[in-house]
Amino acid sequence: MVEALQPANSPEILGFLFALAFGFAVAGLFASGYRLYGEHFPSFHLLEVGPMAARCAAVPLLIFCAPFLIIRNTLLGRRIERRPAQFVMVAMVIAGLWSLMSGTVVVMALQALLNV
C-alpha cells in the first residue's frame, strides 16, 4: 500500500522538467544578453520597426525570449493595469508551455552537439 502512494519519477518526467528549466534559463539569458547589447529588454515591437533584415533577425531571438517577455509583461500588467489573477494564471501556463517547447529544442540541440 505504501508503494502506491509514492510518486514515480520516470525519466520522461525528469526530461520534461529539465526542458522546462532550460527553456526559462535560455529565455532569461537571451533577454539579458539583448539588454546588455541594447538599452532595454527585447519586445514584440522588434517585429514592427526597422529594416526587413532586422525584423527577420529578431524572430529567432523572440522565439527563445518569449517566455520571459510574456511573464514580464503579464506581471507588469497585473501591477499597473490591475489585470485579474485568472489572466495572469493563463499567461503563466502559456509561458510555461512555450518554455517547455523551446527548452526541448535546446536540450535536443545540446544532445546532438555532445552526441549523448
25 part of a folded domain: yes
- What is the maximum span of the chain, computed from C-alpha positions, in angstroms? 65
Q: Is residue 1 part of a domain?
A: no
**Residue 7 in domain:** no
Count of the separate structural domains present in the chain: 1
pTM: 0.81
Give the pLDDT band of residue 8 (cuts 50, 70, 90).
Answer: low
- The DSSP code sequence of 36-73 is HHSSS---GGGGTSS-HHHHHHHHHHHHHHHHHHHHHH
Work out the average pLDDT over 13-32: 92
Let me know: does 31 contact 41? Beta carbons within 8 Å.
yes
Of the pLDDT bands very low, low, confident and very high (cuts 50, 70, 90), residue 69 is very high
The answer to the question of residue 5 being in a domain is no
Give pLDDT tens digits for 81-94.
Answer: 888 889 999 999 99
Kindly state whether residue 2 falls inside one of the protein's structural domains.
no
- Identify the domain containing residue 87 by its residue range: 18-114
Rounded to whole angstroms, how far apart are CA atoms 14 and 12?
5
Residue 11 lies in a domain: no
Structural domain includes residue 13: no
Residues 6+ apart with CB under 8 A from 96: 20, 67
Grid cell at residue 40: 532595454
Instruction: Tell me if 6 is assigned to some domain.
Output: no
